[in-house]
Structure 1
C-alpha cells in the first residue's frame, strides 16, 4: 500500500497524517505529539496468528494511516489504518480510548457534528456508524452503495447523510435511518471524489469529480445549481506556465497505462480528458460568500473560487491559482488561513493568508501569528517522516476502463462474409 498524507484542522488543533504516524499540534497548549496506529486486535490478529506465512510477512509491518478526522468539539480524534482498524483517541491528552476492527478497509472517516458518533465509509461501498460514548461497541450498518465510497458527510442538524462513490453518484439519505433515500444528485460523468456543504449556505452541496468539474446542488431535491470546469479555468489561466506534471507513464484521459500493462492502449476508452478534482476545502468570508480551494490531479497549484448566493441565485467565480510548485497532498482552510501539505523538502507545511477588500485580494504565504508559525516549525522539522510519502495516485485507477470490441467485431465480420463467398 502506498504511503499517503492528509491534513485536518479544527480551531486550535492541527492533525497531519504521514505514512504510519499522526502528528497532533495544539497551538493553545504549545504541545506536539506523534501518534501511531495500535497493533492488530480481534479477528484480524486471530487470523494472522493462525496463518504462519502471513504472520511472518505482515504481522510486524506497521499499519499505514488511511484517513483521519477531528471532531468539531475538539475532544476526539478518529484514525483508520490499513490493517482494517478504527482507533479513537482523546484529542486532549492523546490517549487511546478504543481500537475496533472494521469489516473492510476504510476510505473515509467523519465524526457526526455532535461528536457522539463516527461514520466510517469503506472501499466496498458500505457505511457504518460507531459510537463515541460506548467506544468498545460494534458499528451499526447505515447504508450501502454498489461501488467504492469516496466521501461522506453528515449535515449540521444530523438529519441527512450524504455519500458519493466511484459510480458518479451522490446519494442523500435520512440520518440515522439511512434506508430512507431523500434524493440523488446526478450529473457527474466520472467518480465523485469529494463533497462538502457551502459554508455560508448549508443548503447547498458542492462536489468535485474525476470529470474535472465542481458542481453545486440543492441536495434536498437533487437539482444542480451550477457547474464549474476547473481544468478549463486552469488551462486558460496558466497553461503556458508549465504547471502540469510531466509524467513518465502514458496517460489517456486520466487513465494511467504503464508499458507493461496487459491492456493495450487501443483497447481503453475513457469518457473524459479532464484533470480530476482530487479534493477541496472551503471557508466562509461573510454570511453571503465563501472561498473554495481545489486541488487538481497532476497540477502544481491550488485553484481558488469565490462562491456567493444560495439555492436560488448562486454565483461562482474563479479567483486565482496559488502556486505551490508540486502537486499538493492536502489543503485545509482554517478561517481565512489556507494550510497546504506538499512534498516540499524541509518545508512540507505552508500557510497562506487570504487578504481582500472591495478592489483587491491576495494570498500571502506564511503571514500568520507566532503560534501558527510555531506549528509550522514543529511540522517542518519532521521532514524525515514525509520524505517517503507518495503523491496522490488513487485517481488514475478510479477511472473506469471499457474494452472497445468494435474493431475485433468488424474483422470477424469481414472474415465471416469472405468465407461465405
Structure 2
C-alpha cells in the first residue's frame, strides 16, 4: 500500500522501495525522491533467511516523518533512517517482521512486531532492545511522557512505565475487535478498532472517557450487512465495518472505514473533565481510497487521483488536486499492494459436531461386534 505523511508543507509518499517528497506549499524542493539502500546482511544467517532479505520486493509498510528524520520499514524487515538531507543514518534488519514502526519524541525508533514483542532502538545505539511483550500481534505503539502504550489484535491497550516496562500502569479495555491505531489527543489517548468505534481514554487510569461508533455515520447500511455476510462465509463473526486508519490533528479526528469512498471527520473538545465529540462531515470522492494524511490539509490518495483539502472554519474544503504528481508516479503507486484486514479477525471453529459424529460411529461399531 502507498503510504502518505505530511510535514512542514511537504507530502511524503512511500511507494515500493522509494520515498517521493512533493512540495505543495513552497517550503521544500518541488519533487525529490530517495530509494532505500541495499540491505546489510547480518552475519550467521541461514541460507533461507538470507534469500528472504535479498528479495526484490522491498515494499515499505511503515513510514514516520518529523522535522529531522524520515523512517521507513519494509516487509522484508529492513529499517532505514534518513536525515533531512536524505542521507542514510541507520540501516539494519529486524529479527522478525514488524507491523508498525514509528519515531518517538526523542527520535528513538519504536518497533511493534507481529509476534507481540515491542522494541526500542535508542537514537545513539545501533540495535533495538526488547522492552515488553504481548501474547498477541502488536498493531501500534507510541511513547508519551514516561509511558509506552501498545495495542494488539486481542482488543487490548496496555500502558506501561518506560523504561521499566515490566511495571504496568493500566489497561484500556472496551474494544470488541483488534485495535488498529492509537494516538495522543489533547492529553487523552484515542484508539480505533475493527469493531468500528473510536474511543477516548484517560490512559493513566484506563478509564474510557467517550466513544463514537463510526458505523452510525455510514450512509448505506447495506455495505455493513454485505461485509458481515462475506466474513461469515470465512467463519468470522462480524457486526461492524472495521476502521482501517485513524489520524488526529488539532481538534480533528479523521477515520477511514473498509471499502468506503469517503473519510469521516470528527471534532473533539476536551475540557474540565468533559468530552464533546461531533461528526462534522464525510469527505467524499469518486474512486477507491488508497490512503490519506491529515494535517492542516487533508490529502487523499485514491485509485486514480490525489486530492487536497484545506481546513476552513470547522470543515475541510476541496482546494485542488495534485494529479500532475500522481500521473508522474502512477506506475509506482498502482503497483503497491493493499492491506488485508481480514487476517486480523479471529476465526470461529465448530469441531464439536465432527467429534460427536466420530463418537457415534465408534459406538455403533462397538455395538455391532
- The TM-score, its normalising length taken from structure 2, stands at 0.89
Which residues in structure 2 correspond to 1:48-87 (within 5 Å)? 50=47, 55=51, 59=54, 61-71=56-66, 74-87=67-80
Partner of 2:166: 179
- Helix, strand or coil: the match of 1:387? helix
Residue 96 to residue 245, structure 1, CA distance change in 2 (3 Å): farther
Distance 1:255 1:143 in 2: 33
1:14 and 2:25 are equivalent in the alignment: no
Distance (whole Å) between structure 2 residues aligned to residue 164 and residue 329 of structure 1: 24
Query: Is the 2:39–2:53 contact (alpha carbons within 8 Å) kept by the matching residues of 1?
Result: no
1:113-165: per-residue Cα shift (whole Å, max 9, x none)?
122x111111111111112234xx2111111111111111111xx31111111
Residue aligning to 1:261: none
- Change beyond 3 A, Cα 1:58–1:179: closer
Match of 2:262 among 301, 304, 308: 301
Higher RCO, 1 vs 2 (CA within 8 Å, ≥6 residues apart): 1
Verify the 8 A CA contact 1:211 1:275 in the aligned structure 2. yes
- Structure 1's 245 and 228: CA in aligned 2 closer, same or farther, altered over 3 A? closer
Aligned equivalents of 1:351, 1:269: Cα separation in 2: 37
SS in 1 for 2:42: helix
- 1:144 correspondence with 2:137: no
The answer to which of 308-317 and 211-220 deviates more is: 308-317
Note closer, same or farther for the CA distance 1:10–1:54 as it changes in structure 2 (3 Å cut).
Answer: closer
Query: Which residue of structure 1 lines up, in the alignment, with residue 81 of structure 2?
Result: 88
8 Å contact 1:191–1:398 — kept in the other structure? yes
Distance 2:279 2:230 in 1: 23
CA deviation after TM superposition for structure 1 residue 389, in Å: 2.4
Counterpart of 2:274?
Answer: 313
2:334 to 372, 387, 396: 387
Q: Does structure 1 conserve the Cα–Cα contact (< 8 Å) formed by 2:41 and 2:50?
A: no
> Structure 1 pair 206/311, CA: closer, same or farther in 2 (3 Å)?
farther
Aligned residue in 2 for 1:37 = 36
Counterpart of 2:311 (choices 346, 349, 354) is 354
User: Hey, what's the Cα distance between the residues in 2 that align with 1:88 and 1:256?
Assistant: 42
The reply to whether residue 323 of structure 1 matches residue 284 of structure 2 is: yes
Q: 2:301, 2:307 within 8 Å by CA — same for their partners in 1?
A: yes
- 5+ residue gaps, structure 2: none
Shift of 1:167: 0.8
Matching residue within 239, 256, 267 for 2:220? 239
Provide closer, same or farther for how the CA distance between residues 269 and 68 of structure 1 changes in structure 2, counting only shifts above 3 A: closer
Could you tell me how far 1:30 is from its partner in structure 2? 2.1
159-168 vs 173-182, greater mean Cα deviation: 173-182
Query: Matched residues in 1 for 2:50 and 2:101: separation?
Result: 27
> Distance in 2 between the 1:326 and 1:256 partners?
27
Aligned to 1:260: none
Q: CA deviation at 1:362?
A: 4.0
Q: Counterpart in 1 of 2:302? A: 342
Shift of 1:88: 1.0
1:19 positional shift: 2.0
Alpha-carbon spacing, 1:254–1:219, altered in 2? closer, same or farther (3 Å): farther
- Aligned-partner Cα distance in 2 for 1:415–1:60: 51
| 2:20 corresponds to | 23
Other-structure match for 1:100: 92
TM-score, with structure 1 as normaliser: 0.78
Q: Is the CA contact 1:225–1:314 (under 8 Å) kept in the aligned structure 2?
A: yes
How far is the alpha carbon of 1:254 from its aligned partner?
6.7
**2:317 aligned with 1:364, yes or no?**
yes
CA deviation after TM superposition for structure 1 residue 412, in Å: 5.7
The one of 248, 253, 267 aligned to 1:282 = 248
How many angstroms does 1:400 deviate by?
Answer: 0.4
2-structure distance, mates of 1:233, 1:221: 30
Partners in 1 of 2:30 and 2:271 — Cα distance?
A: 40
CA distance in 1, matches of 2:242, 2:208: 19
**Structure 1 residue ranges without an equivalent (≥5):** 258-264, 285-289, 368-372
Superposed displacement of residue 31, structure 1: 4.1
Output the CA distance in 1 between the equivalents of 2:268 and 2:323: 29
8 Å CA contact 1:218–1:311 kept in 2: the answer is no
How far does residue 256 in structure 1 lie from its aligned partner after superposition?
7.9
